[in-house]
Amino acid sequence: MSKSTRSVVLILAVVAAVFAILYYASSSVNKALGADAGGVQLFNGKNLANFYSYLGPTAPGEKPIGKNTDPRKVFTVADGAIRASGEVFGYLATEKEYENYHLTVEVKWGEKTYPPREDNARDSGVLLHATGEDRVWPQCIECQMIEGGTGDIILVGGGKNKPTKLTATVEQRDKQFYFAPGAAAREFAGGRVNWFGRDPEWKDVKGYRGPKDVERPVGQWNVLECVCDGSAIAYKLNGVPVNAGTNASLTRGRILLQSEGAEVFFRKVELRPLR
């Protein structure tokens, strides 16, 4: 076994342990919050109940379209799945705020892409702990979905006065930081923590695939899991733990499904409350 292979195996083992600790440290599903053994289905497979839409401007300098107004049908439901067209930047947001949960989302890319990202890597995301007024984009912790980079942690918004913070163990390569269990811990105030296997030579081009990608090809369903337990967060993609952090400055908020230039489908949005 080569040194690089041993390193990947070690990272997978340690990240799996972190993920298991986050999940099992909490008690079973809290029935008082309305969950049963199958979890809370935030998406009922039929319509957008439990969510509201928010869309930004259709062109630079224009006003945002706003809340629950969707003239271009960016968000629709068909065949048991939510389609986010990507044509206008925005999101579906849960009507309620959540904390201490295990979120499972089934997701796949469509074929269509739109300006200004029609030739760039397909891009979307699940935004966790979104807080404050609706805008593109509110303060939150993003579980990034982008070709080659699904599973990155992005700390969004807050500005200099109240930045979004997180601590993660990372290795630095050039100017980028990659999740690496056992490495030195670093506090981030804004910015990105790349998932452990992200290609250092990644390019923002449509259809990008890295040599260690866990994400399945365009058109195939992926299972994305986010465990948010207090100030700790861990991400899992297709059964592989890919990223984690602690001491998050945000621990509660809305859950958002992005529209960001690429067609994407969400077939399952299930939440299991913890504690």
Superfamily the domain 3-273 falls into: Exo-inulinase; domain 1 (2.60.120.560)
Residues of the chain with pLDDT under 50: 3, 5-10, 12-14, 16-17, 20-36
Pairwise CA distance, residues 254 & 69, whole Å: 19
Give the dihedral sign, CA 271/140/191/216.
Answer: positive
Q: Which tokens sit at 82?
A: 């939510």
What's the pTM value of the predicted model, to 2 decimals?
0.88
Tokens of 48: 């957008």
Residue 80, token pair as written in the block: 């048991």
How large is the C-alpha radius of gyration of the chain?
A: 18
Q: What was the pLDDT predicted at 160?
A: 83
Residue type at position 231: S
pLDDT of residue 38: 58
- Predicted local distance difference test score (pLDDT) of residue 14: 47
3-state class (DSSP) for residue 213: coil
What phi and psi values does residue 139 have, to the nearest 5 degrees?
-65, 130
Beta pairing class for 240-245 and 66-67:
unpaired
Q: How many angstroms separate the CA atoms of 246 and 244, rounded? A: 7
